[in-house]
Structure 1
Amino acid sequence: MDQVIQPKVRLYDPTLRDGHHAVRHQLDADQLRAYARAADQAGVPVVEVGHGNGLGASSLQLGQAKLSDDEMLTVVREELHNSRMGVFMAPGWGTTADLRNAVRHGADVVRIAAHCSQADVAERHLDVLGDLRVEAQAVLLMSHMISPGELAEQSALLVAYGARAVGIMDSAGHYLPADVTERISAIVDAVGDVPVIFHGHNNLGMAVANSVAAVEAGALVIDGCARGFGAGAGNTQLEVLAAVLERKGHPTGIDLPSLLRAADVAEDQLMPAPPTIDSISLVSGLAGVFSGFKLPVLEAARRGGVDPIEVFFELGRRQVIAGQEDQISAVVRQLQHT
């Protein structure tokens, strides 16, 4: 009898959450259903769903989703028979009531996000998740803004608060592989046996290479989206990542032909076109600005008659983070008077 190789690296699929950024959070029920069914058939371990900014984030400031959280959760839950359903929440946009509601709708994995230097904002929510008996994960956003040592300290705090997996998001697509190696290694050393997460963006064309570097530094949970569907230049491309990891001797447990079919479904039914690294996405990565700012910056710069590249570099100098979209207009006004 052939020995079954157990996957060591778990792939986590936020196509139906992060991808929402690319279409102004306007995916409908049929689109969610089609991709969730295809991902489930491929054996993707976790399929995450929701507004691009997570539970409770649908708003005028961040963008109003076509569907409510309840509708999205219900539709995707019905299609998942092999995969677990994941959700994402950032304190301040979502609440403990949103967490409880997501669990009632069948969420199996719940991620709490905090700005990279503010792990303490996740403490209460991780405590609630412990009572709800779901897998609680925690991620640090805009992680390029602090040092590897500080990321390790913040990650250790998240574990102390109850996270069963912790890690970092390259929210601006700013990293090169050496950056990832240094940060993931520090976090792995700090949290012991707790699985470490890496979530990449492709602004500098490095998302797959960065994800491989994360695995080789000890990360065990790696995010990827079908066709890279996500904010700005997109996320790590899931089907490419799975193929590369398999070739490098890291089994994922996912059926690659079925995953390729799921990626085709995503391209045909979810997105107007697969993400590309255009000039603005590249500048966003260089400036270290959240990839989800791309469309708002382009609109504001057009209305204000200023160069969007200059807007991004000024936002980077200000170290603006998601949730501070009002700074885009402020920067445009500043540039109009210079």
Structure 2
Amino acid sequence: MSRISITDTSLRDGSHSVSHQYTSSDVEKVVAALDDAGIDIIEVTHGDGLGGSSLTYGYSVENELDLVSTAVKVAKKAKIAVLLVPGIGTLELLKEAHKRGASVVRVATHITEADVSEEYIKAAKQMGMFVVGFLMMAHMADIDKLVEQARIMESYGADVIYATDSAGALLPDDVYARVAALKNALRVPVGHHAHDNLGCAIANSLAAAKAGATYLDGSLGGMGAGAGNAGTEMLVAALKKSGYEIGADLFKTMDAAEKVLLPLVVEKGKQMPLHDSNSLIMGYAGVYSSFMLHARKAAERFGIDVRNVLIEVGKRKAVGGQEDWIIQVAYDLAKATGKAI
């Protein structure tokens, strides 16, 4: 079996779970624990990537670039990664992140919009960064379209291509088919990022590994938007028990989750992701994970059930960056039911 590299995204996707309130002190503690545990790559930015701190996505308590600097300073072995979503992040922010020591960038686009990644992937390669092509909402396109878009990112110079289950909508067979198709079509390695809305994140990660993925994501305690991600400690345990070669130490990864991250979450008055009816509906409807907060606010504003909002958003095939549209969806639903607006 090929060695599998693990990216921990507690300090990026997990930022959604703490309303983007990580401090430099938090980052120092979490990175030190993950680095000591042997995690290969640690992702650090606002939950929506570089430039995400805003009224639309929620403000960070500290400048995310300062968090990147702290992570780089602490990590002895792990590479520090940033996420960049074209239209939210900019080349200027990417250059500054690289200047501060980030050596990996994950350039994320909607599954049908790989072409918008070109300038970012090429610029990152010119800087000498390791580049991941991150195709989000992989359930929203058929396999042929996924392969087509992956080849576009590969042609720009991406070092790895991910099939990203942003909404937690895929089942193990779906993941296996997508990863296997990418593995057969590409020259570069393939990765998978799972969300747990349908309770399948670990099973989906194992299916991805079986299909040939050599890059997998997790977050401590499953931190992340919606129902969260594959728990890094659970992913490490499952991969080890399945016989895959990984660099992470199971006990140290478990301790990083329970003794380091969890106390920080409790200290902030937050809680770990829950499998509730709202996150379940997100996965069932195939809705982008970060839509939860926006959908909940919109549902409360117009006095309607958040589950109906999420289902309707899924039907309209809303994608990342269209969070403002959720207000219109909720308005339309309220008006259709005759509610006073």
TM-score, normalization: structure 2?
Answer: 0.95
Code of the residue aligned with 2:296 in structure 1: it is L
After superposition, give the CA deviation of every residue in 1:290-320 in whole Å (9 maximum; x if it has no partner): 1111122112211211010110110001101
C-alpha separation between the residues in 2 aligned to 1:129 and 1:324? Answer: 26
1:78 alignment partner in structure 2: 73
Shift of 1:64: 1.1
C-alpha separation between the residues in 1 aligned to 2:11 and 2:93? Answer: 18
1:97-136 map, 5 Å: 97-136=92-131
1:337 alignment partner in structure 2: 335
After superposition, give the CA deviation of every residue in 1:68-112 in whole Å (9 maximum; x if it has no partner): 122111121121111110111011111111111111010111110
C-alpha separation between the residues in 2 aligned to 1:162 and 1:288? Answer: 30
Code of the residue aligned with 2:245 in structure 1: it is P
Tell me the SS of whatever aligns to 1:168.
Answer: strand
Instruction: Verify: 1:67 aligned to 2:65, yes or no.
Output: no
Tell me the SS of whatever aligns to 2:314.
Answer: helix
2:339 alignment partner in structure 1: none
1:182 corresponds, among 174, 177, 187, to 177
1:301 corresponds, among 294, 299, 307, to 299
1:242 corresponds, among 236, 239, 242, to 236
Contact 1:301 1:308 in 2 (8 A): yes
After superposition, give the CA deviation of every residue in 1:224-277 in whole Å (9 maximum; x if it has no partner): 000000001000111111111111110211111111111111112135222121
2:288 alignment partner in structure 1: 290
2:324 corresponds, among 326, 331, 335, to 326
Instruction: Verify: 1:171 aligned to 2:166, yes or no.
Output: yes
Shift of 1:157: 1.1
Shift of 1:325: 1.0
1:3 alignment partner in structure 2: none
Code of the residue aligned with 2:330 in structure 1: it is V
C-alpha separation between the residues in 1 aligned to 2:294 and 2:163? Answer: 24
After superposition, give the CA deviation of every residue in 1:191-214 in whole Å (9 maximum; x if it has no partner): 03x110100000000000000000
| Unaligned 5+ runs, structure 1 | 1-5
Code of the residue aligned with 2:53 in structure 1: it is S
2:210 alignment partner in structure 1: 216
Contact 1:141 1:168 in 2 (8 A): yes
2:192 alignment partner in structure 1: 198
Contact 2:17 2:272 in 1 (8 A): no
C-alpha separation between the residues in 1 aligned to 2:135 and 2:97? Answer: 21
Aligned pair count reads: 332
Tell me the SS of whatever aligns to 1:57.
Answer: coil
Contact 1:126 1:136 in 2 (8 A): yes
Code of the residue aligned with 2:329 in structure 1: it is V
1:274 corresponds, among 272, 297, 305, to 272
Contact 2:17 2:271 in 1 (8 A): no
Code of the residue aligned with 1:241 in structure 2: it is L
Identity among equivalent pairs (%): 39
Structure 1 stretches of 4+ moved >6 Å: none
C-alpha separation between the residues in 1 aligned to 2:291 and 2:121? Answer: 28
After superposition, give the CA deviation of every residue in 1:10-44 in whole Å (9 maximum; x if it has no partner): 11111100011122211122211111111011111
2:246 corresponds, among 248, 252, 255, to 252
Tell me the SS of whatever aligns to 2:273.
Answer: coil
Code of the residue aligned with 1:124 in structure 2: it is E
1:148 alignment partner in structure 2: 143
After superposition, give the CA deviation of every residue in 1:111-131 in whole Å (9 maximum; x if it has no partner): 101110111101111111111
* Alignment RMSD: 1.2
Code of the residue aligned with 2:246 in structure 1: it is T
Tell me the SS of whatever aligns to 1:213.
Answer: helix
Contact 2:168 2:283 in 1 (8 A): yes
Of 293-302 and 179-188, the range deviating more from structure 2: 293-302
C-alpha separation between the residues in 2 aligned to 1:247 and 1:145? Answer: 32
Shift of 1:7: 6.6
| Unaligned 5+ runs, structure 2 | 337-341
